[in-house]
């Protein structure tokens, strides 16, 4: 990414006290948090968000256009016990934070991501420009590292690649120490050099891992009773509302004080991504038509991506909204930041709101008074993506209940 701003958000996790158990009837579990720290020198970047989506979901055949870039990886396809401060890059763009790996606790900044499953970062055996631009993990300095003969490779639609070997080591996420399979990059193409994070901390299901048979961090945390309950809760407040202050991820717990009313649990329809079903799309509470879709709830994506037709239906309700060929997407008047209208997504029979004010997301550089919209088209058919544009308005609990995984959702509370 090419954004200069940093926010420290807390990613908190609950202390391991009991056997992990289903949580959909539990109202409150206390965790530990680190307050968000504000750095005012931020700059949003729509072009990077569009570039990210083109490469993040090549298998979905997204048709997100966006201005062409020479670099990929302005963002990559992107813990319980204790606390992990994270950085909100943008702000409201992506969230990454430090973990410690190995016997000497080497610190790496990883992007916490419900849209992927791998944990990977560069090795000191990688000497490409991209690897050299980041903190690299030195296996020789860890007495607990164990080599693995398996290899891994990730390819993106623009030709950027990362590849390497698997290994395992002790991974410390906010005080919880687990032996975890990790991917060590031995090669990264140059497009990765500009990414602010060192690598990825995936929070999706194991079936999405690039190497079959690898357990995720949450699977291992549950198996070792390292979390109170098998959940990861996301509280990612909006900068527009409160300066983005006080956000965190809570591993193993649910904090009732951070949402309004009760959680609605939306069943996962396919357990690789956190995939659920949206039955309707509304503007100010009124249906926009026959718009229903399977969607991915993805903390590693900034915007909301729907079909071209659904995006048009939303923007037809917004005075002054136009689709810009030169900018590669929908743009809206920046004055929308004072609007009170809403769009909503119906999940499990309940409407969850996104303020139209948030759609005025990233100002164009031409001083025209227009902003890139937080809702974009790009899908001809198939999966929509509900990124942080949705999550920052709705408290989300990613429940790994073995029998019936679900996402608990309720309006966020400030």
Residues designated as active site = 113, 298
How do 176-188 and 119-122 pair as beta strands? parallel
Q: Is 318 helix (H, G, I), strand (E, B) or coil?
A: coil
The DSSP code sequence of 223-253 is HTT-SSSSEEEEE---HHHHTTTT-EEEET-
Q: Phi/psi class of residue 390: alpha, beta or left (left: φ > 0; alpha: ψ in -120 to 50)?
A: alpha
Distance of CA 204 to the CA centre of its chain: 10
Q: Which tokens belong to 103?
A: 């016997």
Whole-angstrom distance, CA of residue 378 vs CA of residue 389:
16
Per DSSP, what are the bridge partners of residue 54? none
Q: What angle do CA 313, 56, 397 make, to 5 degrees?
A: 75
Peptide bond between residue 75 and the one before it cis (omega within 30 degrees of 0): no
């Amino acid at each position: 990414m090419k954004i200069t701003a940093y926010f420290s958000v807390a990613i908190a996790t609950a202390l391991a006290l009991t056997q992990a158990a289903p949580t959909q009837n539990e109202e409150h579990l206390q965790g530990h948090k680190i307050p968000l720290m504000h750095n005012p020198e931020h700059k949003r970047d729509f072009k990077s968000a569009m570039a990210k989506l083109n490469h993040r979901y090549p298998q979905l055949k997204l048709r997100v256009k966006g201005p062409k870039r020479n670099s990929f990886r302005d963002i990559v396809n992107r813990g319980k016990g204790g606390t992990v401060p994270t950085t909100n890059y943008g702000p409201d763009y992506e969230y990454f934070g430090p973990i410690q790996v190995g016997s000497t606790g080497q610190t790496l900044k990883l992007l916490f991501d419900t849209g992927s499953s791998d944990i990977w970062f560069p090795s000191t055996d990688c000497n490409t420009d991209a690897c050299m631009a980041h903190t690299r993990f030195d296996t020789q300095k860890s007495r607990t590292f164990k080599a693995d003969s398996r290899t891994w490779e990730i390819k993106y639609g623009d030709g950027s690649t990362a590849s390497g070997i698997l290994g395992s080591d002790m991974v410390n996420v906010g005080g919880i120490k687990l032996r975890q399979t990790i991917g060590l990059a031995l090669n990264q193409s140059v497009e990765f050099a500009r990414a602010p994070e060192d690598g990825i901390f995936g929070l999706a299901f194991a079936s999405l891992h690039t190497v079959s048979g690898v357990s995720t961090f949450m699977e291992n945390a549950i198996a070792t009773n390292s979390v109170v309950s098998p959940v990861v809760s996301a509280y990612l407040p909006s900068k527009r509302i409160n300066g983005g202050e006080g956000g965190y991820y809570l591993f193993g717990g649910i904090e009732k004080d951070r949402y309004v009313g009760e959680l609605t649990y939306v069943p996962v329809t396919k357990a690789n991504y956190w995939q659920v079903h949206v039955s309707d799309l509304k503007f100010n509470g009124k249906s926009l038509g026959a718009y229903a879709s399977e969607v991915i709830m993805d903390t590693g994506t900034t915007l909301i991506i729907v079909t071209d037709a659904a995006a048009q239906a939303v923007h037809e309700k917004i005075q002054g909204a136009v689709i810009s060929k030169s900018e590669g997407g929908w743009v809206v008047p920046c004055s929308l930041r004072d609007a009170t209208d809403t769009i909503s997504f119906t999940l499990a029979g309940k409407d969850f709101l996104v303020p139209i004010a948030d759609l005025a997301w990233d100002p164009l550089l031409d001083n025209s008074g227009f902003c890139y919209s937080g809702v974009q088209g790009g899908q001809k058919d198939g999966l929509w993506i509900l990124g942080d544009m949705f999550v920052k308005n709705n408290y989300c609990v990613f429940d790994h209940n073995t029998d019936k995984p679900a996402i608990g959702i309720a309006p966020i509370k400030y």
